[in-house]
Structure 1
Amino acid sequence: MNPPTQPGPIDPQFFIAKYLTPVLEHKWLVLLTTFIGLLVSLPVSFVVQPEYSSKATTQLETPRAQMISEVTEEITSRTGDQNYITAAVERMHSTAFQTEVFKILPKQLQKDLETPLGVKGQLMKKAAPYLDRLLKGDAVDPTTLATITPERLNKLSNRVVIEGIPRQGIIQITGTTYAQEMATVLVQSYIDIWVALNMETNKSLIRHELGFTENQKDEYFKQLKDSEKELRLFKQKFEIPPALSSITDMELQAQLDVLQNKVENAKERYKRIDDIYLDLVRKEKSVVNNIKVINPPQTPLEPSKNIRLLIILIGLLAGAATAIVPILIWDYYRGNIRHKKDILSAVNIPIIGKLPTIK
């Protein structure tokens, strides 16, 4: 028995004979399936719309009121901490926030959201009316198009990507639409609702404290009036003039001092709580927006994803593969001798000379 042959260098003639020659023998079949693939992919490439994306970069600061402060305090950047940034991102992902955004979207953008992103989603959306007509399905009620449903909110969520960079206090919002001019509108709608709700949140923090302070103020005012009334009745009882603060009777003077001190303490408490109340009122009116738009959304000039050429290329390759794969499989199972290695692998006998080509 001959010793096993050692693997030699790669022979290009072997690959040409084994794989290229069978394909060339059936070249018309390969060209036909490739042309069919082109005919199928070309209409699909025109049906599929390009996607446009717009991006905005914002910076979120710690909530504060725009009060008179020192210069050094004004120039210091007050970016929010990591938990504050994370909470803001999660809030924009919430259903309540998305509902508010959906309410202000124009009709054109709401219609744009009905088509899912991607080739599969677009083709299914285009084919849906014909399938419903073929299956004799019920027509869509126009009133349902104006209803905000979880499905429509999910479609809105799939169009927007919100990324937070907690260390820098930055939140990036990216929106994707099929209509070129609607990408900016989508991102700006998110920013507008976020600013409005954030302002209300900042004010609500002060309003809560303001309500508590107002209750305390009313209580202290009542105590002041009760103390003044008690002092007035005491002076009327013992016929002491209202403007008089000291008398000769030591026992009555002691009682008078207690009542007068009670009134003074009540006045001091009321003045202190009134100052706090006025300060909170000023803060509520001077609350500023703590969201800074560093890079506003811009109208995209070029599509972010245009796969028309890719669809045509895939159609050509798929069409060619539809013929090439069966040809190679059929040639393999037929056992055609196309190279001397085919004989070596079968009988393990050295071949001297050249293998004749059978035509």
Structure 2
Amino acid sequence: MSSSHAMNMSQDDRKKYDELEGLPYIQALYDDKRYENLLVESSKISPSKGLEKDFYYLVASSYYLVRKYQDSLNVLLKKSAFLKSHSDYSLLLSRNYFSLSQFKLCSDEINKVSLELIHGDDWKIFRTCNERSNNHSQLLSIFLKNKIQDQDFFIQRQIVLLENSLHSLGMEHRKMFLERCISVDAFLELNSVLEKFKIKDKTLLERAHQCHPNASEVTSLLVKQLFTEGKFHSIAYLFEVMNAENPEFTAHVAEFFKVAGRVQVAEYYFLQADEPRYMLARATNFLAQEKFSELVTFPFDKITISKNKDLSYALSFSAFKNGNNILAAQYLPDKKNANTKELALLDLIQKCKGLSWKCRP
């Protein structure tokens, strides 16, 4: 029914109309932006069963639009049994309290409606109210816990969440946040924050990894994504932050550079990770480039060689290719095979993962 038709009804028709429905008349007033009239008329009408949520929402919304925020809030809270099923209920509740909080910074009142604010869709409003609450961390934690399962919300808002909230959250919710980042492959957004915090907060990544049960897994996934995108400066930054506490991370970085053929960069990271892995990487890279003389003359530590069979095979093979059979025999881990060069070479080929060699010299 049109708003003009509702306005022009006779008193008798209007009475019957109100008794039957009520809501269409209130809706007509609302559509005509006659909010003051709506508030007066609504007090004379009892909405039909099943129409209460829309009826009371229009009343609360009208109070809000005429800047009677406390009255609007009272309707929302008093009629919450009906209104909670209304799609715009939480947002209107949040906006009412946001409007009130601009005039009086009363954290107790914010706490009273905090659980409702948490379910609101307006992040800016929630954040402003939350900052004025004396229960900041708890509200933020509950809000994140509720919203973290919402993938669309999470992807849109995670930069804001991480930037403004991670430092305020408890360990449980930090873990939840990082796990969610990985589960939705949200590396781009996470990387944006990491780069932003390069100047502001260089401990952010360390804190993030400390709160995750499997830091190396998270790091590996993140580095892999950054590597795919060619963001080597970001990888270097991650290395700079994490190297001292996480040699496994450094080894991950080295492996990615090695696969990409950036041999010298890979060697550098392997050296930072730990000496034995660096030595093996160095030997493997020499083999890949067929630089046998360089490999044989490289000053490998004897203890390192003795503890690393793959490195021993690489040195033995290089010495053999360099024409030094005696040195090749010395480097072979199993001296009984010193005279069976072909078997030694086949074994070496199997040990050097990812390399393609001819079996015969």
TM-score by length of 1: 0.23
Q: Highest relative contact order (Cα 8 Å, sep 6+), 1 or 2?
A: 1
Which structure's residues are more often strand, by fraction?
Answer: 1
Which structure's residues are more often helix, by fraction?
Answer: 2
User: Greater CA radius of gyration, 1 or 2?
Assistant: 1
